[in-house]
């Protein structure tokens, strides 16, 4: 498979950072710099202590301690669905702007659901909690809330990406591994990248830092279908699996996208990696089109998150397909839900999952 990094100067910077992070021989130089940044944050927190606002309704935080995608968006969707099933009216609070990919994706999904959950965007999430309550919310889902000090949480769920480097030398850590002790529980995401033995080993390694019994669940993703970006219709993916496709993504973990496409049975000939959260324009679409033609592929395959930004830019005869995925629990779903239900004071028992 051929691998291409695109996105201009930003793409080259991101590639360079990833290469630096993977070059463990540079850790003695770079880790002290990262630790100084941590120390500055710790000093700031000590000098400016904050009394967190305690909302009159339950607050469930979903966060991480690493830079990049850990699967918070699909996990939040799962949590919102389970809360809605038991009669709660959840509202999602995100620090992102209303134009962010995750917000657009969530709002687009709301249009196709009989019951929707509002998303309140912005850095001032205390203000947004009050807005959500005025709009009728009975529980708050705080997206990316583990580092947010201004709001009390009833449940603090931390996701750990199974493909991430679990070590104090990991340059993409947002804070020390010992901070995992603050979490109510830890859920391993993308766990299907490991076999059963690898999952158990990772669980033990995380609990060395977080405390025994903190890791209570693990999930991965499975292909849910292939959709045409142009028509929006679901397609028979078997029609494309025998042909060569090119992957295009602007996400934090393109390697996992490649694994998912392989699991779906696609013959991946090439992959184009743009920077995380990349904003595509017409020149990007032209570049992808020309590269697809040069590689002789029969289709271009992208993620749901990238499809939101590529829609309206693609005008090529080569079809642009969207690989849809769904969260698949490997173990611990009901144990996690029982903990959320208990700590967040959900009064109605959840019906069995079919």
Q: What is the mean pLDDT of residues 4-13?
A: 64
| Residue 174 CB neighbours (<10 A) | 17
- Cα–chain center distance at 220: 11
Alpha carbons 8 and 85: distance in angstroms, whole number: 45
Q: How far is CA 80 from CA 110, 147, 220, in A?
A: 11, 21, 18
> Which residues have C-beta within 8 Å of that of residue 310, sequence separation ≥ 6?
229, 248, 280, 285, 302, 320
Task: Judge contact between 75 and 67, C-beta under 8 A.
Answer: no
**Interval 205-263: pLDDT, tens:** 999 999 999 999 999 998 888 999 988 888 876 666 677 999 999 988 888 999 999 98
**Interval 185-197: pLDDT, tens:** 999 999 999 999 9
pLDDT, position 54: 94
The residue written with tokens 């687009």 in the block is 108
61, HSE (Cβ side, Cα atoms, 13 Å): 25
pLDDT, position 104: 55
Pairing of strands 155-161, 59-63: parallel
* Cα distance between the two ends of the chain: 39
pLDDT, position 110: 47
Backbone angles phi, psi at 92, to 5 degrees: -100, 130
Please give the domain boundaries of the chain with CATH numbers for all domains. Answer: 2-11+224-325 (3.40.50), 59-221+328-343 (3.40.50.300)
| Residue 304 CB neighbours (<10 A) | 18
- Quick check: 14 pLDDT over 60? no
Comparing CA positions, the residue from 89, 151, 145, 95 lying closest to residue 121 is 95
pLDDT, position 351: 41
Average pLDDT score over the chain: 84
Alpha carbons 311 and 158: distance in angstroms, whole number: 32
> Which residues have C-beta within 8 Å of that of residue 36, sequence separation ≥ 6?
none
Quote the pTM value: 0.83
Q: What is the mean pLDDT of residues 311-332?
A: 92
């Amino acid at each position: 498979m051929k691998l291409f990094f695109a996105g201009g100067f930003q793409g080259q910077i991101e590639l360079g950072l990833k290469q630096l992070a993977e070059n463990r021989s540079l850790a003695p130089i770079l880790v002290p710099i990262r630790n100084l940044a941590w120390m500055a944050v710790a000093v700031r927190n000590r000098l400016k202590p904050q009394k967190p606002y305690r909302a009159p309704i339950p607050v469930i935080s979903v966060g991480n301690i690493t830079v990049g995608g850990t699967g918070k968006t699909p996990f939040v969707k799962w949590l919102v669905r389970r809360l809605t099933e038991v009669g709660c009216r959840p509202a999602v609070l995100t620090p992102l702007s209303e134009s962010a990919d995750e917000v657009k994706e969530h709002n687009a999904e709301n249009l196709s659901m009989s019951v929707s959950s509002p998303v309140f965007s912005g850095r001032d999430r205390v203000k947004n909690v009050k807005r959500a309550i005025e709009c009728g919310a009975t529980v708050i889902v705080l997206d990316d809330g583990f580092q947010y000090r201004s709001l009390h949480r009833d449940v603090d769920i931390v996701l750990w990406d199974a493909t991430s480097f679990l070590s104090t030398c990991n340059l993409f850590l947002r804070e020390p591994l010992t901070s995992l002790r603050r979490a109510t529980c830890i859920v391993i995401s993308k766990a299907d990248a490991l076999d059963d033995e690898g999952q158990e080993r990772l669980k033990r390694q995380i609990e060395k830092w977080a405390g025994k019994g903190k890791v209570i669940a693990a999930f991965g993703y499975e292909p849910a279908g292939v959709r045409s970006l142009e028509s929006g219709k679901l397609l028979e993916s078997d029609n494309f699996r025998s042909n060569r496709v090119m992957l295009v993504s602007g996400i934090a973990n393109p390697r996992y996208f490649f694994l998912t496409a392989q699991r779906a049975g696609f013959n991946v000939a090439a992959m184009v990696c743009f920077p995380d959260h990349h904003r595509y324009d017409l020149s990007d679409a032209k570049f992808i089109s020309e590269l697809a033609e040069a590689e002789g592929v029969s289709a271009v395959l992208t993620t749901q998150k990238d499809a939101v930004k590529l829609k309206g830019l693609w005008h090529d005869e080569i079809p642009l397909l969207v690989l849809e995925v769904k969260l698949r629990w490997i173990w611990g779903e009901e144990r996690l839900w029982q903990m959320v239900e208990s700590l967040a004071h959900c009064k109605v028992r959840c019906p069995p999952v079919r």
